[in-house]
Amino acid sequence: MAVMLKEEYKNYLNEKIIPDFKNFLDKDIFSVIINCEHEIEICTNKSANSVGVSTWEDLCGISFADYEDESILRKYFKEAYSPEFKNDIKQYLKKLLYLQKLVIDKCIVIQFIDMLPYDNKLITYVTTYTPVLHPDGSVIAIQSFANQSYVLRFQGHLSPPVQYISSESDQYTDREREVLFLLSNGATQEKISEILNVSRSTIASIISNQLCPKFNIAGANTKLLTDAAIKAGLYKNIPKSLWKPCIIILNHDLHGVFINEI
C-alpha cells in the first residue's frame, strides 16, 4: 500500500527537494525523484529521453504501481510490450515497486542492475535507490541514480536475440541455453538465479547434473564449463527468452528476495 505523506512532508518535497533538483534537469545524468505513492515527481531530461519522451514533464505523475495499465505499458515499452513478453514486463515493474517499498519502509539504500532490451540492443544500468529524508528523519521520497554500464562480458558485440526451435536433435534445452549464455558472459550462479527467477540450487543442479556431463566435465566445475561454452561460441547469441527486462539486486543481504516475495 502506498504511503500517504503528511502535508508538511509534501510541502518540504515541493518547496525544497524539487526546486533543488531542477538545477540538474539538463545535466548528463540519469536521475529520478519518486514520491511515496510511487509516482515520478521529476527527472532529468536524459532519463526522460531514455524511455522515448522529450522532456521530464512527460513523465510527471507516471506511477510504478500502474503495472496493470496496458495503455501506459504500450506507450513506454512500445513493440517490446508483446503478448510474448507482457507478463515479464509486468513482473519487472512489480519488482521495481517492491524495491521502492523497501527503501521507503526500511530507509535503506538499494543498488541493482537494471537490464532492458531497447532498440535491438540489451542496455544495462547500475541503479541506486536512495531515500530522501525530511529534517525529522522521515522518508518522503526516493531519488534514483543510474549509470549505463556493460554487465555481460560480450554485451557490446551480441547478435540480435535468437529463437531456438526445439527438436529431438537439439543438444540443449531452452533453460540450458540460457544458463550457458549467461555463464559465458560472466554471470555468476547467483546472478543467473536472479535473472531466471529460480533458486541458486536449481542453477547449481543444472550445471552439475545436465551441463557438465554434456561437455564431459567431471563434477561441477563452473570455470571449465564457462571456458567450454565460450569456445563453443555460446556467448554470441542471446536466447530470445532472455530478451526481456530484468533486475539483479546487488545488496548482499537482499539476494533471493524476489524468489521469496514476488
**What is the pTM (predicted TM-score) of this model?**
0.82
Cα 203 from Cα 165, distance rounded (Å): 23
What's the angle, vertex CA 45, arms to CA 41 and CA 51, rounded to 5? 85
Report the CATH fold assignment for 155-242.
Arc Repressor Mutant, subunit A (1.10.10)
The mean pLDDT value of the chain amounts to 88
Q: What pLDDT sits at residue 76?
A: 78
Q: What pLDDT sits at residue 230?
A: 94
Dump pLDDT digits (tens) for 9-58. 999 999 999 999 999 999 999 999 999 999 999 999 999 998 888 999 99
**What is the percentage of the chain residues whose pLDDT exceeds 90?**
57
Cα 21 from Cα 15, distance rounded (Å): 11
Dump pLDDT digits (tens) for 117-128. 766 677 889 999
Dump pLDDT digits (tens) for 135-179. 999 999 999 999 988 777 777 666 666 666 555 557 899 999 999
Cell of 122: 540489451
Q: What pLDDT sits at residue 169?
A: 53
More confident residue, 255 or 184: 184
Compute φ and ψ for 123, nearest 5 degrees. Answer: -105, 135
pLDDT at 67 over 70: yes
Q: CA–CA distance from 83 to each of 70, 80, 94, 242, 245 (Å)?
A: 11, 9, 18, 15, 14
Domain ranges of the chain: 7-149, 155-242
Report the CATH fold assignment for 7-149.
Beta-Lactamase (3.30.450)
Q: What pLDDT sits at residue 118?
A: 65
Q: What pLDDT sits at residue 176?
A: 96
